[in-house]
Every structure is written in C-alpha cells, then in structure tokens.
Chains A and B, each alone.
Chain A
C-alpha cells in the first residue's frame, strides 16, 4: 500500500499530490509538463517534496514533519524510466544482475535464468542495449527491476514510444505482471487510451488560487 500526500513547488506551478494505492494499478494522466514525472521522482526519492508524507507499507519514505527522507537506494521501489535507462556499457545479463548485488553467486545465476526465461529474453543475455529493439529493451528493464523484488513499481510513459500493435501486447504484459507481482503499480501517461489499464485513474487538474497555479491529481469517475 502506498500513501503519498505532498506538495512540491515547481518553477511554473505548485504540484499537490494526494494518492492512495493498494495492490492495484494507478494511472496518472496529464499533458506533458503537468508534473507527472515529478510525482514519480518524489515517490522514488530522486526529488525531495517541499512538505508532506510518503508511506509505503509500514515504511516512511518521506516525512517533512519527522524530517525523514530515505535515499532512493533504500526505498525498495522499482522504476521503469521513459526510455528505460538501461546501462549502455553493460550486457543485458549484467544490466539485470545490477540490482542483485547481495545475492550469492549460485542464487544469482538461478534467479537470472528464471527471469530471462520469464521475459523470454534468454537469447539476448550477452547483447548490449544498443543492439535491442524497443520492446526488447522494455522487457530487459522490467527484468532488471523484478530481480530487486520491489514493493512498488513506478512506470513513466512505458508505452509512449511503441507502435499500436506492440502497445497492445505490452499492455497485456503489464496486466499479467501486476497479477504475478501483487504490488502497487503507479503508471503515468499523457494518453487517455491507457486509462483502461488502471484500477484507479487520476487526472491532472489545474487551479488558480490567489495568483498561484496549482496542479493536482484527482480521481476520475
């Protein structure tokens, strides 16, 4: 369960976020520049909110009143970046193993093989990211995240760079993954067509208050 209630001042507006997600898929929809990625970055610890609280399960990730701000590497969150941010200098295998530093060698090998099989990318293990297609990259990014056993998965425009056919397929894959992982997913997108992925859908709304522009996300019916 993720509870995030925070405020973040951005150059053009104030971002107000009040979200609650159980083990379901939450879709945040908003045009570009509405602060969607900032929401994910605040949850993951890549940016610091100005005030508020972010709680994941029993763990307080951020609390301005209690002066808590866990660094990203301690949050136990998975994040699929917009262009996947695979490590260019590492092979697919080493990309996936990056988050499995603490596992024993045998356990690492076992998990790697399982994950490669699950995502159907065993044949790509020795390739570099530059040698992969868009769909393959996404599967590698998912596999790299899964091996860390995250308690929450954040996805930043995961389907934006895909053609229609591939998008359909990946949408199904995300749904299936969510069933398997059984953790909250927060997905941001600018496309209304991806709303059907979500158990909950929040839309960006703009408000003017005393000359201040406020962007907040409200649940759509």
Chain B
C-alpha cells in the first residue's frame, strides 16, 4: 500500500519539475519571439489537454515503442527501454501537465510590466539577470498557479499512464491505478484509504503553494504604510 503512494508522489513531483522547466522555456521563447508557424506549434502544445488521455497514451506508446523514433534512440543510448517502467509514468504525466504550465507561464509573462524589465536593462542587467531577478519574481504568482495545476494534473494522471507504464504492482502502480482496480474487484476499503490519502496530500500541497505565493505577493502589494 505504501509503494503506490510513494510512486505517485515521486512521479507527480518529477513530472511537475519537467513541465515547469520545459513550460517556462517555451512560454518565454514564444512570448519573446515571433516566427512563422508559431500558432500551429502552440496548437500542438495544447493537444494533450483536449485529446482523450488514451489517445495521448497511444501516441506515446508509438513514439517510445521498440520501433518508435524515441524508443529506438533510448535503446541506442541507454540500452534499455522506457515503456512499462516508472519513467513512462513520468513522461505521460509531464506531457499531459505541460499545456497547463505553458498556458499559465505565458499569461504570467504577458502580465509583467515591460517597463520594469527595461529599467533593469538600463541599470546594467543582461538578459539572464533581467529574467531571473525581474521577470520571474513578477510573474511568479501566475507561474505558481501553473505549478499547482500541473501537479494536480500529474498526480491524478490515469489513462496515458496506464497505456504507457501499465499497472505493474511494485513497479509502475500509482494511486489512481490501485483505486481503479480495487474498485473493480470490490475492494472498497483499499480504495477509500487511498482516496483519502490522495485528497489530503493534494489539498496540503496546493494549500501550501498558494499560501507561499500569497505571503510573497502580499508583502509588496499591501498599500498601508508601516
């Protein structure tokens, strides 16, 4: 019973980290640069959000399969395969969580006052310093809501994970898998126990992240004088 809890948390945290890094990178790139075909690529980014998870899972199965381009590459480099390992669950969760992170980060970058970034450049900051010290802190509340959404999506991921990682007890079995198969076999006790665990953990995580964000933002938005 402990392993699925541990695995779900591990998969959700790693998937959130991956979608955070990739989402921020593409959101910034697509916010700053204009190029032909940008809208089409953005539409592809949003596909995992609108497609049924089984479709996303099927596509990943093809891409990472023995004869798929990414599966072939992984076999060549690492001499192993990704499908039906817990890494497949991480990839599936990252892919479905990515559009939420991308969308939130892009909206957050759009809301940053461009004049403050310009002022930083004039004060001698190069682009990297402007991004780290001005853009990211000012966009942080929006980015954090993207983190919360991505995490929620990743920890609850079921369809694509089942197709790519399967339901191997002690190896790839996450909480949603155990709940689904426990209910199917009539084991309500296990299902209820894990439902409570996943609700408490998700609530705690989201509550903490929101509190952290509010505390940080309130500091510089409160108007009253000290």
29 CB contacts below 8 A, A to B, read: A46-B121, A46-B122, A71-B126, A73-B121, A73-B123, A73-B125, A73-B126, A78-B122, A79-B118, A81-B119, A83-B115, A86-B119, A87-B116, A87-B119, A87-B134, A89-B220, A90-B220, A98-B123, A98-B133, A99-B123, A99-B124, A101-B124, A127-B226, A128-B219, A128-B220, A130-B220, A130-B222, A131-B222, A148-B124
Contact B125 A98 (CB under 8 A): yes
Contact A46 B118 (CB under 8 A): yes
The smallest beta-carbon distance between B140 and chain A, in angstroms, is 8
- Contact A71 B121, CB 8 Å, known A88-B220, A127-B225: yes
Most buried by A among B113, B118, B122, B219: B122
The CA of A83 and the CA of B114, in the complex, are separated in Å by: 12
A49-77 contacts to B (CB < 8 Å): 71-73, 75, 77
Which A residues touch B222, using CB under 8 A? 130-131
The CA of A194 and the CA of B221, in the complex, are separated in Å by: 33
Q: CB-nearest residue of chain A relative to B140?
A: A89
Q: Which 3 A-B pairs have the closest CB atoms?
A: A99-B123, A85-B115, A85-B119
**Cβ 8 A contact of A81, one of B115, B133, B219:** B115
Which B residues touch A148, using CB under 8 A? 123-124
> Main SS of the interface on chain B?
helix
- Contact A85 B118, CB 8 Å, known A130-B220, A130-B221, A130-B222: yes
- Cβ of A199 under 8 Å from chain B: no
Contact A89 B122 (CB under 8 A): no
- Cβ of B223 under 8 Å from chain A: yes
B-facing mask of A128-156, CB < 8 A → 1, else 0? 11110000000000001100100000000
Chain A contact-residue range equals 20 to 34
Which A residues touch B175, using CB under 8 A? none
- Contact A73 B116, CB 8 Å, known A87-B134, A88-B220: no
Contact A79 B134 (CB under 8 A): no
- Cβ of B68 under 8 Å from chain A: no
A78-114 contacts to B (CB < 8 Å): 78-79, 81, 83, 85-90, 98-99, 101
- Cβ of A44 under 8 Å from chain B: yes
- Cβ of A126 under 8 Å from chain B: yes
The CA of A45 and the CA of B122, in the complex, are separated in Å by: 8
Contact B221 A77 (CB under 8 A): no
A-facing mask of B202-226, CB < 8 A → 1, else 0? 0000000000000000011111111
Which B residues touch A128, using CB under 8 A? 219-220
**Cβ 8 A contact of B122, one of A77, A86, A127, A130:** A77
Q: CB-nearest residue of chain A relative to B123?
A: A99
**Cβ 8 A contact of A72, one of B121, B137, B219:** B121
If A72-B121, A85-B113, A131-B225 are given as contacts, then 11 extra A-B residue pairs at C-beta distance below 8 Å, sorted by A number, are A45-B121, A83-B115, A85-B116, A86-B119, A87-B116, A88-B220, A98-B123, A101-B125, A130-B222, A131-B224, A148-B123
Q: CB-nearest residue of chain A relative to B117?
A: A85
The smallest beta-carbon distance between B144 and chain A, in angstroms, is 14
The smallest beta-carbon distance between B129 and chain A, in angstroms, is 8
Which B residues touch A88, using CB under 8 A? 113, 116, 138, 220-221
Most buried by A among B123, B137, B222, B223: B123
The CA of A99 and the CA of B125, in the complex, are separated in Å by: 8
- Contact A81 B138, CB 8 Å, known A98-B123, A130-B223: no
